[in-house]
Amino acid sequence: MNKSRLISVTLLASALAYAQTGFGESLVDGKYLSEGAENGTGKCTLSIVSFDKPHKYGDETFELESSGEGACEWSAIGVSKNFVITAGLVTSGGMPAFAKLSFPFGPAGRKIELVSFDVDGSIRNKEVFSKI
Protein backbone atom coordinates (compact mmCIF):
# COMPACT_ATOMS: atom_id res chain seq x y z
CA MET A 1 0.00 0.00 0.00
CA ASN A 2 1.50 3.33 -0.97
CA LYS A 3 1.83 6.24 1.44
CA SER A 4 -0.94 8.45 -0.02
CA ARG A 5 -3.44 5.59 0.07
CA LEU A 6 -2.52 4.81 3.69
CA ILE A 7 -3.04 8.48 4.64
CA SER A 8 -6.41 8.52 2.84
CA VAL A 9 -7.61 5.38 4.63
CA THR A 10 -6.48 6.78 8.00
CA LEU A 11 -8.30 10.08 7.42
CA LEU A 12 -11.46 8.27 6.26
CA ALA A 13 -11.43 6.01 9.32
CA SER A 14 -11.00 9.02 11.60
CA ALA A 15 -13.84 10.90 9.89
CA LEU A 16 -16.17 7.89 10.18
CA ALA A 17 -15.38 7.47 13.87
CA TYR A 18 -16.10 11.17 14.47
CA ALA A 19 -19.34 10.99 12.45
CA GLN A 20 -20.54 7.94 14.40
CA THR A 21 -20.04 9.85 17.67
CA GLY A 22 -22.00 12.83 16.34
CA PHE A 23 -24.84 10.61 15.13
CA GLY A 24 -25.05 8.88 18.54
CA GLU A 25 -25.46 12.17 20.37
CA SER A 26 -28.04 13.54 17.94
CA LEU A 27 -30.22 10.43 18.24
CA VAL A 28 -31.58 11.61 21.60
CA ASP A 29 -32.41 15.22 20.63
CA GLY A 30 -35.85 15.88 19.22
CA LYS A 31 -39.56 16.05 19.93
CA TYR A 32 -41.50 13.12 21.37
CA LEU A 33 -45.25 12.56 21.72
CA SER A 34 -46.83 10.51 24.51
CA GLU A 35 -49.49 7.91 23.85
CA GLY A 36 -51.98 9.63 26.18
CA ALA A 37 -54.93 8.09 27.99
CA GLU A 38 -57.13 5.33 26.61
CA ASN A 39 -59.80 7.86 25.57
CA GLY A 40 -57.28 9.77 23.42
CA THR A 41 -56.78 12.74 25.75
CA GLY A 42 -53.81 13.91 27.75
CA LYS A 43 -51.11 13.64 25.09
CA CYS A 44 -47.87 15.38 26.05
CA THR A 45 -45.11 16.69 23.82
CA LEU A 46 -41.57 16.28 25.19
CA SER A 47 -38.71 18.31 23.75
CA ILE A 48 -35.11 17.17 24.41
CA VAL A 49 -32.17 19.43 23.52
CA SER A 50 -28.56 18.62 24.46
CA PHE A 51 -26.03 21.18 25.64
CA ASP A 52 -22.79 21.18 23.66
CA LYS A 53 -20.46 21.36 26.65
CA PRO A 54 -18.24 18.56 28.01
CA HIS A 55 -19.06 17.46 31.55
CA LYS A 56 -17.04 15.74 34.23
CA TYR A 57 -19.93 13.53 35.40
CA GLY A 58 -22.31 11.85 32.99
CA ASP A 59 -22.26 11.62 29.22
CA GLU A 60 -24.31 14.69 28.26
CA THR A 61 -26.57 17.35 29.74
CA PHE A 62 -30.06 17.96 28.38
CA GLU A 63 -32.78 20.56 28.61
CA LEU A 64 -36.18 18.87 28.83
CA GLU A 65 -39.51 20.61 28.34
CA SER A 66 -42.92 18.99 28.36
CA SER A 67 -46.03 20.74 27.09
CA GLY A 68 -49.68 19.84 26.81
CA GLU A 69 -52.52 19.92 29.32
CA GLY A 70 -52.45 19.56 33.09
CA ALA A 71 -49.60 17.37 34.33
CA CYS A 72 -47.79 17.71 30.99
CA GLU A 73 -46.50 21.18 31.86
CA TRP A 74 -42.96 20.91 33.27
CA SER A 75 -39.34 21.63 32.46
CA ALA A 76 -36.10 20.07 33.66
CA ILE A 77 -32.35 19.82 33.32
CA GLY A 78 -31.03 16.27 33.08
CA VAL A 79 -27.74 14.38 32.94
CA SER A 80 -27.39 11.15 30.99
CA LYS A 81 -25.26 8.13 31.73
CA ASN A 82 -25.35 5.47 29.01
CA PHE A 83 -28.57 6.92 27.54
CA VAL A 84 -30.52 6.97 30.80
CA ILE A 85 -31.33 10.58 31.63
CA THR A 86 -31.90 11.55 35.26
CA ALA A 87 -33.47 14.97 35.76
CA GLY A 88 -34.81 17.29 38.41
CA LEU A 89 -38.01 18.93 37.22
CA VAL A 90 -40.42 21.66 38.23
CA THR A 91 -44.09 21.23 37.32
CA SER A 92 -46.49 23.97 36.31
CA GLY A 93 -47.81 24.03 39.90
CA GLY A 94 -44.30 24.61 41.26
CA MET A 95 -43.98 21.09 42.72
CA PRO A 96 -40.41 19.74 42.58
CA ALA A 97 -39.93 16.16 41.39
CA PHE A 98 -37.42 13.90 39.68
CA ALA A 99 -37.62 12.08 36.37
CA LYS A 100 -35.82 9.13 34.84
CA LEU A 101 -35.92 8.74 31.06
CA SER A 102 -34.79 5.45 29.58
CA PHE A 103 -34.61 4.10 26.05
CA PRO A 104 -35.97 0.50 26.05
CA PHE A 105 -34.64 -0.19 22.54
CA GLY A 106 -31.63 2.14 22.71
CA PRO A 107 -31.55 5.71 21.41
CA ALA A 108 -32.12 4.54 17.84
CA GLY A 109 -35.37 2.79 18.89
CA ARG A 110 -37.29 6.10 18.88
CA LYS A 111 -39.14 5.31 22.17
CA ILE A 112 -38.65 6.83 25.63
CA GLU A 113 -40.05 5.60 28.92
CA LEU A 114 -40.40 8.40 31.47
CA VAL A 115 -40.95 7.71 35.16
CA SER A 116 -41.41 10.72 37.44
CA PHE A 117 -40.88 10.52 41.20
CA ASP A 118 -41.99 12.75 44.04
CA VAL A 119 -39.31 14.06 46.40
CA ASP A 120 -40.06 11.21 48.86
CA GLY A 121 -39.28 8.62 46.14
CA SER A 122 -42.84 7.51 45.38
CA ILE A 123 -43.72 7.11 41.70
CA ARG A 124 -45.83 9.99 40.40
CA ASN A 125 -46.54 8.64 36.90
CA LYS A 126 -45.15 6.66 33.97
CA GLU A 127 -45.43 7.60 30.33
CA VAL A 128 -44.17 6.26 27.01
CA PHE A 129 -43.14 8.72 24.29
CA SER A 130 -42.50 8.11 20.58
CA LYS A 131 -40.20 10.32 18.50
CA ILE A 132 -42.06 12.55 16.06
pLDDT class for 32, splitting at 50, 70, 90? very high
Q: What is residue 85's predicted lDDT score, i.e. its pLDDT?
A: 85
User: What is the rounded distance in angstroms from the CA atom of residue 6 to the CA atom of residue 116?
Assistant: 52
More confident residue, 104 or 93: 104
Is pTM beyond 0.75? Reply is no
Answer for the pair 101, 114: CB distance below 8 angstroms, yes or no.
Answer: yes
On the question of pLDDT at 26 being above 80, the answer is no
CATH of domain 27-131: 2.40.128
What does the chain look like in DSSP terms, one character per residue?
--HHHHHHHHHHHHHHHHHHHHHHHHTT-EEEEE---TTS----EEEEEE--S--SSSSEEEEEEEESSGGG-EEEEEEEETTEEEEEEEETT--EEEEEEE-TT-GGG-EEEEEEE-TTS-EEEEEEEEE-
Average pLDDT over residues 70-75: 79
Instruction: Tell me whether strands 30-34 and 45-50 are parallel, antiparallel or unpaired.
Output: antiparallel
More confident residue, 1 or 129: 129
pLDDT class for 56, splitting at 50, 70, 90? low
Q: What is residue 55's predicted lDDT score, i.e. its pLDDT?
A: 62
